[in-house]
Structure 1
Amino acid sequence: MKLVYVFDAYCGWSHGFSGTLREVVSRHPTLPVEVVSGGLFTGRRQVAISNFSYIMEANAEISRLTGARFGAGYQRLVAEGSFVMDSEAAARGVAALRQTAPDRTAELAMASQHAFYVDGRSLSDPATYRQVAETAGLDADAVVAAFQGAEAQEAAEADFRRTAELSVTGFPTLLAVDGSRTVPLARGHATADEVDRRLAPLGIIPTF
C-alpha cells in the first residue's frame, strides 16, 4: 500500500494541506508517498493572477482552517496582479526534485509551495528550484538541469494523465492505493487525525 498525494503547487488549498501531509508522513514513515502534480493552471487558465478575484477571500479561509501562512513576498505578487501561475512549469519543477531525491518528494513539493506562497518566488524560474535544492542539501545544478530537460516535461505530462486516471478533479486529494483498490483519505481539507481514522480500517496504525 502507498499514499498518493495529488496536488497543484499553485493551489492554495494544497498549501494549506501541507501541515496535515507533514504530520501524516511523520506518523506513517514506512508508507511510501507518490506525489502527483494536478495541472490546475494550464491552457486557458494561464492568465494574470488578478483574474482570480476570489484568491484573497479563499486564502483567509485557508489560513483560518489550517493555520497556513501566506507571506509578504506572495502578497506583493497578488497586489501587483500581473503574475501568471503556470502549473505545467510547476509540475516540471516537482518532477525535477522527485528525479533528484525520490524518497523526499513530499517534503520537496511542500518546499516548492513555501517558495511561492511565503517567499513569492515564481515556480517557472529555475532559480527557485536552485534555492529549494540548496536549502534541502541537494545537488542544485542537477535539479536545475532536470527542470530544464525533456524528462521533466514528459514527467509533468504523465502526472496530468495520472490525475485523470485517478479521477481526481479537485486539489489536494490524498488517496490510499493498494493494487487496484483506491480509498479516498482527504479532499480539500482534513486533519491528520481524520486521515488516520480513514486509514484504520485498512490496518494502517500510526507509529506515534
Structure 2
Amino acid sequence: MTSKFLYIADPMCSWCYGFSLELQKFLADMPDAELDIVLGGLRAYNTQKMDADQRDMILSHWEKVQQVSGLPFDMTGLNKPNFIYDTEPACRAVVAAKMLTQDMPTKINFAVFQAIQHAFYAEGKNVTQETLLAEIAVEALNRFEQAEVFDYDSFLETLSSAECKDETRLHFQQIQQWGVRGFPVLLLVREDGLHMLSSGYAKAEVISKNFKEVLQGLS
C-alpha cells in the first residue's frame, strides 16, 4: 500500500526549512510515497517594509534553526533595501508547480519547495520576485525529471495567472479552516482520516517512530 502524506508548510518559514531535510530523510526509504503540499501563507500579502527590529527578531529565529538543523543560512538575505517579507509569491510558485505536474510523482513539487527554500535561506536571494521564482522552479523541475521538460516562459505565465493566484488563496483558506496555527505539520493520510506525525520541527527518526506507532494503532 502506497503511503500518502500531507505536508503543511511555507517555503519562507525557517522551521520548515530546517524540517525539510528531515522530511527528505524520512521519505528516502519510501520511494513510492506520495507527498501533497498545502501552502501555509505564513506572511502572505504582507505589504510592510522590513524594519530593523523585525529583521533582528527574524534573524534570532534563523539562528535557532541553524543551531538545531545544521543547515546553511545567509544572514545577509534580509538586508536588501525596502525588503517586504511577503510569502505569497513563493507559496504560489509551488502551487504553479502543482498545477503543471498533476500527472507526475508528487515529490517533484517537494523538489521545487526545497529549491525555493535553499535560494532564500542558504543563498540570500529575494524569492518574492516572480521572475526569480520561475527560474528556480524550472531548474528544480527539470533537474528532477533529468530532462528539459519545463520552460521559463510557460512557468511564469502559470505563476502570474489569476487561476494560480486564486488556487493559492484557497490553500491559505484551507489552512485557516483546519485551524493550523504554525508550520511545519506532517500528516499521514488514511481512509479513516488524517493522522499527525509531526507538528513543528522534528528529526527523521522521530517522524519514523510516530509513523510506525500510527500504523500499529491502525492495524
Shared fold (TM-score, shorter chain, > 0.5)? yes
The more displaced of 50-59 and 26-35 is 50-59
Q: How far apart are residue 203 of structure 1 and its match?
A: 3.1
- Per the alignment, residue 57 of structure 1 pairs with 60
Aligned residue type for 2:171: D
The alignment status of 1:188 with 2:200, answered yes or no, reads yes
The alignment status of 1:198 with 2:202, answered yes or no, reads no
Q: For each residue in 1:130-165, what CA deviation from the matched residue of structure 2 results, as whole angstroms up to 9, or x when unmatched?
A: 321342213222211110111211110111122123
**Which secondary structure does the structure 2 equivalent of 1:49 belong to?**
coil
> Separation in 2 of the partners of 1:8 and 1:20?
16
Q: For each residue in 1:180-204, what CA deviation from the matched residue of structure 2 results, as whole angstroms up to 9, or x when unmatched?
A: 5222111221011100111103339
**Which secondary structure does the structure 2 equivalent of 1:70 belong to?**
coil
Give runs of aligned pairs for residues 70-89 of structure 1, distance below 5 A. Answer: 70-71=73-74, 75-80=75-80, 82-89=82-89
- Per the alignment, residue 121 of structure 1 pairs with 125
The share of aligned pairs that are identical, in percent, is: 25
> Separation in 2 of the partners of 1:60 and 1:16?
11
> Separation in 1 of the partners of 2:110 and 2:80?
30
> Separation in 2 of the partners of 1:132 and 1:85?
18
Q: How large is the Cα RMSD of the aligned pairs?
A: 2.0
Give runs of aligned pairs for residues 128-147 of structure 1, distance below 5 A. Answer: 128-136=132-140, 137=142, 138-147=150-159
- Per the alignment, residue 47 of structure 1 pairs with 48
Aligned residue type for 2:209: R
The alignment status of 1:153 with 2:155, answered yes or no, reads no
Contact preservation (8 Å) 1:37, 1:91? yes
Inter-CA distance 127–119: structure 2 relative to 1 (3 Å threshold): farther
Contact preservation (8 Å) 2:90, 2:133? no
- Per the alignment, residue 107 of structure 1 pairs with 111
- Per the alignment, residue 21 of structure 1 pairs with 23
- Per the alignment, residue 4 of structure 1 pairs with 6
Contact preservation (8 Å) 2:77, 2:123? no
Q: For each residue in 1:66-110, what CA deviation from the matched residue of structure 2 results, as whole angstroms up to 9, or x when unmatched?
A: 112112xxx333234631111222221111122223431111111
Q: How far apart are residue 179 of structure 1 and its match?
A: 3.2
> Separation in 1 of the partners of 2:33 and 2:84?
35
Q: How far apart are residue 170 of structure 1 and its match?
A: 0.2
> Separation in 2 of the partners of 1:162 and 1:25?
25
> Separation in 1 of the partners of 2:168 and 2:50?
22
